A and B are shown apart, each in its own frame.
Chain A
Amino acid sequence: RKEVEQDPGPFNVPEGATVAFNCTYSNSASQSFFWYRQDCRKEPKLLMSVYSSGNEDGRFTAQLNRASQYISLLIRDSKLSDSATYLCVVNEGTYKYIFGTGTRLKVLA
C-alpha cells in the first residue's frame, strides 16, 4: 500500500459545482497534513494546512479523519481558476514529508 494515496482524476466539473477529494495515508503516527495546489509546470503552493477540528478558507474546506486515516478537501462554487493538481502532503515527523501524486481538477466553462 502506498504511504499516501490520491485518486489521480481528472475530475472534470462545471463552474459553480462542488467537488471533493480524498487522500488516505498509511502511517497512523503521521503528525501534520497539508493540501498544496500545483499548476502545470510550476511549483506546489500551500493551499491550506489540515487541522484535527477541520478548517475552512473561503470556498475551501479541509478535514482530517484520524480514525480512518484520510484527509479531504472540499471546493465549493468552483472557478475556472481552480483548475490545477491538488497534492496531499503528510508529515511523519522530523523532516519526512510524504507527497501524494496529486488529483487533477479541471473546471469547465
Chain B
Amino acid sequence: SQTIHQWPATLVQPVGSPLSLECTVEGTSNPNLYWYRQAAGRGLQLLFYSVGIGQISSEVPQNLSASRPQDRQFILSSKKLLLSDSGFYLCAWSGGIAVTQYFGPGTRLTVL
C-alpha cells in the first residue's frame, strides 16, 4: 500500500531564516506530487505541483520554491522566511490518471 511521509512535524523558525520541508511517498511510482498551505481558518492553497522529476509548476508567486530530485521525493524550500509563511504545510500525491489525492501528516510551521 502507499504511504506518504512528511518531516518535520512541527517547526518554529525566526523571520529571515531558511526553510526545507521534505515529503516522500512509498509504494507507488511516478506519482503526481503537490504542496499545499493551510492558514488558520482558511482553505487549502495549492503552492506547487509536480508530474515528474525536475518538473515543477508554481501556482502562486511567493518566496517559496519546490524541487523534486527523485521520483518520490518533493521538497519545499525558502531562502528567507516571512511571518506570513506560517501555516500548516501539506504534501499530497495522486497516481496516474486517478485524480484522488492523498495527504501526508503535514508540517506545522510557525515563523516568529
- Chain A min CB distance to B42 (Å): 6
What are the interface flags for A33-46 relative to B under an 8 Å C-beta threshold, 1 for contact and 0 otherwise?
A: 01000000111111
Specify which chain B residues have a CB less than 8 angstroms from the CB of A95 in the assembled complex.
Answer: 32, 34, 46, 49, 51, 57
Instruction: Flag whether A101 is at the interface (Cβ < 8 A).
Output: yes
Task: State which of B11-19, B62-70, B77-85, B97-105 sits at the interface with chain A.
Answer: B97-105
Instruction: Flag whether A91 is at the interface (Cβ < 8 A).
Output: yes
| A42 with B46, Cβ < 8 A, contacts A91-B99, A95-B34, A101-B41 known | no
Q: Are A43 and B100 in contact (CB under 8 A)?
A: no
Instruction: Flag whether A11 is at the interface (Cβ < 8 A).
Output: no
Q: Are B44 and A42 in contact (CB under 8 A)?
A: no
Specify which chain B residues have a CB less than 8 angstroms from the CB of A102 in the assembled complex.
Answer: 43
Q: Which of B57, B88, B101 contacts A97 (CB 8 A)?
A: B101
Interface of chain B: mostly helix, strand, loop or mixed: strand
Q: Are A100 and B106 in contact (CB under 8 A)?
A: no
Q: Are A42 and B100 in contact (CB under 8 A)?
A: no
Q: Are B100 and A99 in contact (CB under 8 A)?
A: no
Instruction: Flag whether A49 is at the interface (Cβ < 8 A).
Output: yes
What are the interface flags for A85-105 relative to B under an 8 Å C-beta threshold, 1 for contact and 0 otherwise?
A: 001010100011101111000
Specify which chain B residues have a CB less than 8 angstroms from the CB of A55 in the assembled complex.
Answer: none
Specify which chain A residues have a CB less than 8 angstroms from the CB of B101 in the assembled complex.
Answer: 34, 46, 89, 97
| A45 with B103, Cβ < 8 A, contacts A95-B34, A99-B44 known | yes
Specify which chain A residues have a CB less than 8 angstroms from the CB of B42 in the assembled complex.
Answer: 101
Q: Which residue of B lies closest to A3 (CB)?
A: B43
| A32–B51 alpha-carbon span in the complex (Å) | 19
Could you tell me which B residues sit within 8 Å of A by CB distance? 32, 34, 41-44, 46, 49, 51, 57, 88, 90, 99-106, 108
Could you tell me which A residues sit within 8 Å of B by CB distance? 4, 31-32, 34, 41-46, 49, 87, 89, 91, 95-97, 99-102
What are 11 of the A-B contact pairs (CB < 8 Å)?
A34-B100, A42-B105, A43-B104, A87-B43, A87-B44, A89-B101, A95-B32, A95-B51, A97-B34, A97-B101, A101-B41
